[in-house]
Amino acid sequence: MFEHLTEKLDNVFKKLKGKGKLDEESVKIALKDIRMALLEADVNFKVTRSFVEDIRERAVGRDVLDSITPGQQVVKIVHDRLIELMGGDASQLRLANRFPAPIMLVGLQGCGKTTSAAKLARHLMNQKRRVSLVSADIYRPAAIEQLKILSESVGTGFFDSTGMNDAVKICVEALNHAKNGGYDILIIDTAGRLHIDTELMEELKNIKDVVNPAEILFVADAMTGQDAVTTAETFNELLDIHGVVLTKMDGDARGGAALSIKSVMGKPIKFVGTGEKIDALEVFHPERMASRILGHGDVLTLVEKAQMAFDEKEAKELEKKIRKASFTLEDFKAQLLQIRKMGSLEEIMGMIPGLGKLKEMKNATPNEKELVKVIAIIDSMTPKERLNHKIINGSRRKRIARGSGTTVQDINRLLKNYAEMRKMMKKLSKGGGKYLKRGNFPF
């Protein structure tokens, strides 16, 4: 996400940092480039104009132009303004003390409401909340069945509305079902249309009046850019929504919707969908997103993903193995599988400060296929070979290559990398093992 904007802004800042002293003309040229970068990223025109003017006022002051590092000062100003543009602080769900607290998802057809309902349920379950789901979509074929399958995969409660043809009645009965079942939250997946119409909005208003939701979240497809912002405005006028869920952010290299919504409609983005997996939903943190846009990484989100993906007991066992220098190929495979739970390698790489820019270099972008290949190679080894890589001779390498559909060169490369990793871990285990404590790895 924001790939093009990050690249454009990076080029602007390189020019600024390369100047020992800035003058108003240099700032003017830089702001023109920033303006074009934002417009190319499909940021709302009025938002772009206001943003650039605000930067101009802050950047041409004497305290910036006469500072020792004026280029860095401008970068900080842009960073701070981006945070303000996207809402400042992360916006929490307002569930209060209602049991169950209804959360109503609204939006056009195809924006990802049903999948987002399941993802949101998973997110809330990770916070020890008991969640139930219901589909109030009486128009789309198989909508109820789709949500039912997703609820089973997540492990939430589910109110089956099959055969019912009144969306309002469905929501009332689902609320009673959730209350009787002792659920904390009821997530309502409402119907969508290909476009806004009177019938749809009337139905949604009726559901709102009867259910009185704690949260109304507008679900928008980030890839539709300013169309998503315009549609969100209309829904907000009629329903007074509380926040936005932006889906398909992983496929949106521009990011215009994310940078425009808060300013245009005054409502915050609360969550972003970052992939197809059921756990690919992130709380929207403006400060972290601003850091990603400027290529500074997002260490906090990376740490949170690692904490969710890595089991604490397994981490302690790994520490013991590293200390004893008994880290096997089986352990190596287990760690690769854990890393895959955190998301795509490219996404993880973009969260590490400095590494995101390496994608500009040839062959620097991580290849998911290589990870799959490594796992296939280890799976083709015998248990003895995984425990002791030194017994893997020439004939064994040929057999492993045939079994994994790879080449002997691939086997050699893996074993060499694995040996280098063991050496590094052996060094880290010396000196009291200070780097091996959980959360204190030097990478």
Do 335 and 382 fall into the same domain?
yes
Residue 429: what pLDDT? 58
CATH number at residue 149: 3.40.50.300
Residue 76: what pLDDT? 83
Radius of gyration of the chain (CA): 26
Looking at the DSSP bridge assignments, the partners of residue 271 are 245, 283
Domains identified in the chain, total number: 3
User: Is 358 contained in some domain?
Assistant: yes
User: Is 46 contained in some domain?
Assistant: yes
pLDDT in tens, 105-159: 998 888 888 999 999 999 999 888 999 999 998 888 788 999 999 999 999 999 9
User: Is 23 contained in some domain?
Assistant: yes
Do 224 and 360 fall into the same domain?
no
User: Is 18 contained in some domain?
Assistant: yes
User: Is 441 contained in some domain?
Assistant: no
Residue 61: what pLDDT? 63
Residue 77: what pLDDT? 84
CATH number at residue 33: 1.20.120.140
At 7, phi and psi to the nearest 5? -65, -45
Do 284 and 310 fall into the same domain?
no
Those residues whose C-beta lies under 8 Å from the C-beta of residue 400, and which sit 6 or more positions away, are 377, 380, 381, 385, 392, 406, 411
Residue 130: what pLDDT? 93
Do 110 and 191 fall into the same domain?
yes
Residue 336: what pLDDT? 75
Q: Which domain holds residue 159?
A: 101-294
Residue 396: what pLDDT? 94
CATH number at residue 407: 1.10.260.30
Residue 296: what pLDDT? 65
Do 321 and 235 fall into the same domain?
no
- State the alpha helices, DSSP H only, in 212-298: 226-239, 256-265, 286-293
Tokens of 9: 């802004």
Do 129 and 220 fall into the same domain?
yes
Do 61 and 162 fall into the same domain?
no
Angstrom distance (rounded) from CA 23 to CA 38 = 23
User: Is 307 contained in some domain?
Assistant: yes
Residue 14: what pLDDT? 79
Looking at 50, 85, 120, the residue that finishes a domain is 85
Residue 11: what pLDDT? 83
Residue 304: what pLDDT? 57
Residue 398: what pLDDT? 94
CB 372 within 8 A of CB 349: no
User: Is 91 contained in some domain?
Assistant: no
Do 114 and 241 fall into the same domain?
yes
Shortest CA distance to 178 belongs to which of 157, 208, 148, 150?
157
Residue 1: what pLDDT? 63
Do 242 and 180 fall into the same domain?
yes
How do the residues of the chain divide into helix, strand and coil, expressed in percent and rounded to 5? 60, 10, 30
Looking at 20, 50, 85, the residue that finishes a domain is 85
Do 132 and 72 fall into the same domain?
no
| Local confidence pLDDT in tens for the 443 residues of the chain | 677 788 888 888 877 776 666 677 777 888 888 888 888 888 888 888 888 888 888 777 655 555 556 677 778 888 888 888 888 877 888 887 778 999 999 988 888 889 999 999 999 998 889 999 999 988 887 889 999 999 999 999 999 988 888 999 999 999 999 999 999 999 999 988 777 778 888 899 999 999 999 999 999 888 877 788 888 888 888 888 999 998 887 766 566 777 888 888 888 889 988 888 888 888 888 888 888 777 765 555 555 555 555 555 666 666 666 566 677 888 788 777 776 666 665 566 555 554 455 444 444 445 667 778 888 999 999 999 988 888 999 999 999 999 999 999 999 988 888 887 777 766 655 554 444 444 443 33
Those residues whose C-beta lies under 8 Å from the C-beta of residue 383, and which sit 6 or more positions away, are 330
